[in-house]
Amino acid sequence: MLNPRLPDGTRLEISLTVNGAARTIHAYPMTRLLDVLREELNLTGTKEGCGEGECGSCSILMDGFLVNSCLIPALQANGTSIVTIEGLANDNRLHPLQKAFLECGAAQCGICTPGMILAALHLLDKIPQPSLDEIREGLSGNLCRCTGYFQIFEAVAKLSRNGVAD
């Protein structure tokens, strides 16, 4: 939560875990977590589509919750554990969900893909065998203009059939 007594323009030390590694940065309290990730930590896989929490391109996992990183002030991320798209592939080996996205044509232009994959991961974590309606609902915060979604649904369903193998 924001501390109202902090003077405007003071950089704070913020410690967080990103993709399993402890990181400490200095940021203004209201800097968007999206900018911290992209500019301070150079994790540019997290994308900005709208900057107002509508498109979901900046989706990340924060303490297991799916959040729009454009809406999270840096201060709120202090002490949390973050997963971004860069945290999924293991030693150059694709996560099964990434592989399913490739196989099903679920990534076209690719700009919504990182956020979409994290939303799908979050969904499968909560509901390992989702129905079509549950997939639709689980991805409803993530807009894709290229695919018309069905190949993304198929990627998620494929993984739920095969199981998350890592």
Partner 1 sequence: MRFCAYCEGVKLTESEETIIGTSVPRKEGRDKVTGAARYVDDIRLPGMLYGATVRSKIARGKIKRISFSPEIDWNEYVIATAKDVPGKNCIALILDDQPCLVDGVINHPEEPVVLIAHPDKHALAKAVEGVVIESDPLPAIYSMEGSEKQSEIIWGTDNIFKSFLIEKGDVDRVWAEADFIVEGEYFTGAQEHLYIENNGMIAVFDSVAGVTVWGSLQCPFYVHKALMALCGLPEEKIRVVQLETGGAFGGKEEYPSMIAGHASILAMKSGRPVKIVYDRLEDMVATTKRHPSRTRHRTALRKDGKILGGEIDFTIDGGAYATLSSVVLSRGTIHAGGPYLWPSVRIRSKAVATNTPPHGAFRGFGAPQSLFAMERHMDRIAKIVGLSPVEIRRRNFLQPGQTTTTEQVIREPINLSDLLDKSLAHASYKAKKENFARENKTSSIKKGMGIAAFLHGAGFTGSGERYLDSVVGMEGTADGSVRILVSSTEFGQGTNTVLCQIAAEALGIPYESVTIAQADTTIVPNSGPTVASRTAMIVGNLVRSAAIGLKQTLQLDGTLKKTFKPAEFGAACRKYVAEKGLLRSLARYNSPEGVYWDDVTYKGEAYAAYAWAVYVAEVSVDLTTYAAKVENFVALQEIGKVLHPVLAEGQIIGGIAQAIGLALYEKVLWQNGRMLNGQMTNYIMPASCDLPPIRVVFEEIGNPHGAYGAKGIGELPMDGPAPAILNAIVDALGVPFDSIPLLPEDILEAITRRVQSRQQITSPQESPC
The binding site for partner 1 (CB under 8 A) comprises 38, 43-52, 54-55, 57, 84-86, 88-89, 94, 98-99, 101-105, 107-114, 117, 132, 135-137, 139-140, 142-155, 157-158, 161
139 contacts 149 by C-beta, under 8 angstroms: yes
CB of 5 to partner 1, least distance (A): 23
Q: How many CA atoms lie within 13 A of 98 on its CB side?
A: 14
Task: Give first-to-last CA distance, the chain, whole Å.
Answer: 35
Q: State the nearest-atom distance from the C-beta of 58 to partner 1, in Å.
A: 11
Token duo for residue 147: 């695919």
Shortest distance (Å) from residue 86 CB to partner 1? 5
**80 vs 114, beta carbon nearer partner 1:** 114
State the pairing for strand pair 59-62/65-68.
antiparallel
Q: CB-wise, 76 or 158, nearer to partner 1?
A: 158
How far apart are CB 79 and partner 1 at their closest, in Å? 24
| Residue 70 and residue 32 in contact, taking contact as beta carbons nearer than 8 Å | yes
DSSP per position, 59-75: EEEETTEEEEGGGSBGG
Rounded Cα distance between 98 and 118, Å, is 10
Nearer to partner 1, 16 or 138 (CB): 138
Residue with token string 């694709």: 94
Closest separation between CB of residue 101 and partner 1, Å?
A: 5
Nearer to partner 1, 28 or 72 (CB): 28
The residue among 51 and 78 lying less far from partner 1, judged by its C-beta, is 51
